[in-house]
Structure 1
Amino acid sequence: MTVLVAGHAVDDLYQGAVPAVVPFLVAERSYSYLAAAGITVAATLLSSVVQPLFGVLTDRRPMPWLVPVGMIVAGAGIGLCGLSSSYLFTWLAVALSGLGVAAYHPEAARLARRVSRGGHVGMGWFALGGNVGFALGPVFVTPVLAFGGLAASPVLAVPALVGGVLTWVAQRGARGNGGQPEIRAGRDDWRQFGRLTVVVIARSMVTFGLGTFLAIWVAQRVGGLIAGSVALVVLFGVGAAGTLLGGVLAERWGRIRVVRVSYALGVPAVAGVALAPGPAVYVFVALTAVTLYVPFSLHTTLGQDYLPNRLGTAGGVTLGLAVSVGGLAAPAVGALASAATLQWALLSLVVLPLVAWVAARGLAEPVRCGLEPR
């Protein structure tokens, strides 16, 4: 599990790396806003579309080698993106990274379920790794490219190479020790999984909307770029703690109740981000982080229990799609901010946790099957 958590952090670091690379592309190559947006779309669109397809493929035939290979490909794409002045080459390199991210998640989620024996806390740790990696993307990328420019981009692939090799070694060791038990399959419940998918997409949209515009809003509301950066630290830092808290709460109160209460509380929390005066906004940013990240790992365990015969598909949608599809909705929030105000754009995000809460009201706790040897 330690290797899986660290590997998830490394893999999702390359999703968080894309927004950090874009400003350097704009500065060195004079990309337009449209061209810069195209780079972001290259990563998010391909990853969100292809990820469920990898899930379907791995359900037909397990492909554990996709975990280290997907990680390495994700890093290689980012490593290559600065080596050519050709926009097409750069776009394809970033798209390759998105493809690697998509290949990684379904099989990694299956392995995490197996190693954690279906436990909520274990999956919470696995989800935490991805959230931490995403947040560390800019922290890793910025000093490397600030010091060496885009020509130093191959350095960015080093964590993926190291992580991929370590994961491969750990997988071989697990096979040599007989592996972990699998969850015994039951009946797939597509109706419940469809409801859960609505919850996942709504949560992803509000998370990306806030992540994109929160720093700008808080800088205007409180004053100064540092104030905006602090807001992002609060959002991602409290969110990381919330990811673990979700597993603990689910063990005591049940997953469905925790998911419903989280999104119900998310409505006033997101509204507070848009309406709270001055430094009080930080309180609502922290509350919003809790409400959005507590259910994160629970989506994955619920999805896998709703589709026990299609764990790859469940992981691809609840874990992979959750991270990427929200990026496609961020431009709509920006368009609303341009047409009205940024405050109204952020206030419109209140609708999304409300949608998640309504969809979650139709969820039922799946019957969890026992464990059996591989």
Structure 2
Amino acid sequence: MLFYRGGTDDAECDAKNREASSRALFDPSVKTQQNVAQSPRKMAHWRAQARVTHFVINRPGDLKTFLWMNIMATSDQRPATSAQPETATASTTPQTSPLVMRIIGAVALAHLINDLIQAILPSIYPMLKASYDLSFTQIGLITLTFQITASLLQPWVGYYTDRHPNPLVLPVGSICTLIGIVMMSVVGSFPLILLAAALIGIGSSTFHPEASRIARLASGGRFGLAQSTFQVGGNTGSAFGPLLAAAIIIPFGQGNVAWIGLFALFSLGLLYAISRWYRAHLNLFKLKAGQAATHGLSRKRVIASLAVLAFLVFSKFFYMTSLTSYFTFYLIEKFDLSVASSQLHLFLFLGAVAAGTFFGGPIGDRIGRKAVIWFSILGAAPFTLALPYADLFWTSVLSVIIGFVLASAFSAIVVYAQELVPGNVGMIAGIFFGLMFGFGGIGAALLGYLADSHGILFVYTLCSYLPLLGILAILLPRTK
């Protein structure tokens, strides 16, 4: 088949090339000559026509294959500037969705509501203890039931949804939370309280892996920004949960827990809207889930790196628990502050935690996750070591610095782990959120025992050495 280049315009070129194509179809003696046309607009068309004609010459009569080659040749040369739907293809080039801040913001808001509801549960323990004459052992069983469903289920939920993604997992989990909240407002026995706590935990265990996955999918490659924005929503909810409980539940009794159901109902609608966006981008997620690791690390090195990250999470959340659970008691005992004043210092610390969480992700996108992990844990050590010996002013200053520096680590740890094990975004998020809850719960119990037996000042002196475990970050390989 001959391609003519010397015509005066595109119409003349088209006419001559159609004539040459017709002769080539019926006359096999015509040889294919590959010349480059002068009209750029016609290059893709001619290339496709040449391939189709050549195939028909060699395999006459195969209409099915002819049509297939024609479709593929045309689609391969589609202009890059044309509008394309956001669907995944079997291309060997990795596809990334654009940054969708409205989805990331919506997921962060849902995280705020989820963790706000979680934080309300321990806030009403004194009320439940007085109403049902519960022992501390029974209070511990409520926490254990919640932690088992909220923490231990998360990796399994993430593992399953990595392989069988379902956009309805999020709204279904929110329904479990809503049922648990309503039950908690009306139940009259200890076993039903346990069931309500378990349902709230199930809602949390389904939320974190899936919501973290969606935040990553909407990140446009800015994984640290997406993860930190998502995480700061949860920190904000955890901070406001006790305040909300003190305002609308504690003064009025157990029945007012039902008002928290309005937050769960709003979250249900929000998560359903998010799930619709997720469904529209599900093919893109499936393509990404099938991508192989590009870091070139052996399986043994990956497992060792995940173990190091687990130790870093341990050091971070054991120390964070000492502040979130017992900082007010420390201030009251050492500086003779009132409860209200100690709560103000705790609020400043939690505000610094939220700020550190937000800024840690984007910084990791710029300078690398390993650098952020190294600085945020080991870098906090000088301040934690100084805290037990500081006066009230410097205690407040140091707590803000410690909160900001330590909190910047978590989003970097999660994203770093997801880069180590690509295609298992949900499982990795579930593991590390589960570790966060698990280490926090174990740490609170253990540090409470140490405070009873050795005093609260001993607890802060002992915990001040935990950030030194950040030296283990030197064992992490560089992935970015």
Taking structure 1 as the reference length, what is the TM-score of the superposition? 0.91
Please list every run of 5 or more consecutive structure 1 residues that lacks an aligned counterpart in the other structure.
Answer: 368-374
SS of the equivalent of 1:361 reads: helix
Q: Give, in angstroms, the shift of residue 324 of structure 1.
A: 4.1
1:359 aligns with 2:469: no
Of 191, 197, 207 in structure 2, the residue corresponding to residue 94 of structure 1 is: 197
Q: Give, in angstroms, the shift of residue 183 of structure 1.
A: 4.2
Of 452, 456, 461 in structure 2, the residue corresponding to residue 342 of structure 1 is: 456
1:115 aligns with 2:218: yes
Of 129, 134, 149 in structure 1, the residue corresponding to residue 233 of structure 2 is: 129
Asked if the contact 2:214/2:278 (under 8 Å) is kept, the reply is no
Cα deviation, 1:258-277, whole Å, max 9, x if unaligned, reads: 11111112222223333212
Per the alignment, residue 290 of structure 1 pairs with 404
Per the alignment, residue 372 of structure 1 pairs with none
**Could you say if the C-alpha distance between residues 212 and 351 of structure 1 is closer, same or farther in structure 2, counting changes exceeding 3 Å?**
same
Asked if the contact 2:167/2:276 (under 8 Å) is kept, the reply is no
1:89 maps to amino acid: L
**Could you say if the C-alpha distance between residues 324 and 178 of structure 1 is closer, same or farther in structure 2, counting changes exceeding 3 Å?**
closer
Per the alignment, residue 186 of structure 1 pairs with 292
Q: Give, in angstroms, the shift of residue 329 of structure 1.
A: 2.0
Of 178, 198, 205 in structure 1, the residue corresponding to residue 311 of structure 2 is: 198
Per the alignment, residue 146 of structure 2 pairs with 43
Number of residue-to-residue matches in the alignment: 366
Compare the two structures and name the one with the higher helix fraction. Answer: 1
2:249 maps to amino acid: L
**Could you say if the C-alpha distance between residues 7 and 137 of structure 1 is closer, same or farther in structure 2, counting changes exceeding 3 Å?**
same
Of 320, 324, 337 in structure 2, the residue corresponding to residue 207 of structure 1 is: 320
Range that drifts further, 61-70 or 335-344: 61-70
2:255 maps to amino acid: A
- Identity of counterpart residues, as a percentage? 26
Q: Give, in angstroms, the shift of residue 176 of structure 1.
A: 4.4
**Could you say if the C-alpha distance between residues 80 and 269 of structure 1 is closer, same or farther in structure 2, counting changes exceeding 3 Å?**
farther
For 1:354 and 1:233, the matched residues in 2 are separated by 26
Cα deviation, 1:116-157, whole Å, max 9, x if unaligned, reads: 123111221111111111112112222221343102222212
Aligned-residue CA RMSD in angstroms?
2.1
Range that drifts further, 207-216 or 191-200: 191-200
For 1:194 and 1:331, the matched residues in 2 are separated by 23
Correspondence list, 1:1-374, <5 A = 1-119=104-222, 120-173=224-277, 175-176=279-280, 183=288, 185-187=291-293, 189-222=302-335, 223-355=337-469, 357-366=470-479
1:210 maps to amino acid: L
Q: Give, in angstroms, the shift of residue 172 of structure 1.
A: 1.4
Asked if the contact 1:22/1:39 (under 8 Å) is kept, the reply is no
Per the alignment, residue 21 of structure 2 pairs with none
Taking structure 2 as the reference length, what is the TM-score of the superposition? 0.72
Q: Give, in angstroms, the shift of residue 160 of structure 1.
A: 1.3
Q: Give, in angstroms, the shift of residue 170 of structure 1.
A: 3.0
Cα deviation, 1:244-284, whole Å, max 9, x if unaligned, reads: 11123223322111111111122222233332122321011
Asked if the contact 1:204/1:325 (under 8 Å) is kept, the reply is yes
**Could you say if the C-alpha distance between residues 255 and 50 of structure 1 is closer, same or farther in structure 2, counting changes exceeding 3 Å?**
same
Q: Give, in angstroms, the shift of residue 180 of structure 1.
A: 6.1
For 1:47 and 1:164, the matched residues in 2 are separated by 18
Q: Give, in angstroms, the shift of residue 353 of structure 1.
A: 1.7
Q: Give, in angstroms, the shift of residue 291 of structure 1.
A: 2.0
Asked if the contact 2:107/2:274 (under 8 Å) is kept, the reply is no
2:120 maps to amino acid: A
SS of the equivalent of 2:475 reads: coil
2:322 maps to amino acid: G
SS of the equivalent of 1:126 reads: helix
Asked if the contact 1:56/1:312 (under 8 Å) is kept, the reply is yes
Per the alignment, residue 370 of structure 1 pairs with none
Asked if the contact 1:124/1:243 (under 8 Å) is kept, the reply is yes
Q: Give, in angstroms, the shift of residue 303 of structure 1.
A: 1.5
Q: Give, in angstroms, the shift of residue 305 of structure 1.
A: 0.7
1:212 maps to amino acid: S
**Could you say if the C-alpha distance between residues 224 and 93 of structure 1 is closer, same or farther in structure 2, counting changes exceeding 3 Å?**
same
SS of the equivalent of 2:380 reads: helix
Asked if the contact 1:300/1:315 (under 8 Å) is kept, the reply is yes
Please list every run of 5 or more consecutive structure 2 residues that lacks an aligned counterpart in the other structure.
Answer: 1-103, 294-298
Asked if the contact 2:384/2:465 (under 8 Å) is kept, the reply is no
**Could you say if the C-alpha distance between residues 295 and 114 of structure 1 is closer, same or farther in structure 2, counting changes exceeding 3 Å?**
same
1:160 maps to amino acid: A
For 1:74 and 1:361, the matched residues in 2 are separated by 41
Asked if the contact 1:51/1:321 (under 8 Å) is kept, the reply is no
For 2:229 and 2:384, the matched residues in 1 are separated by 25
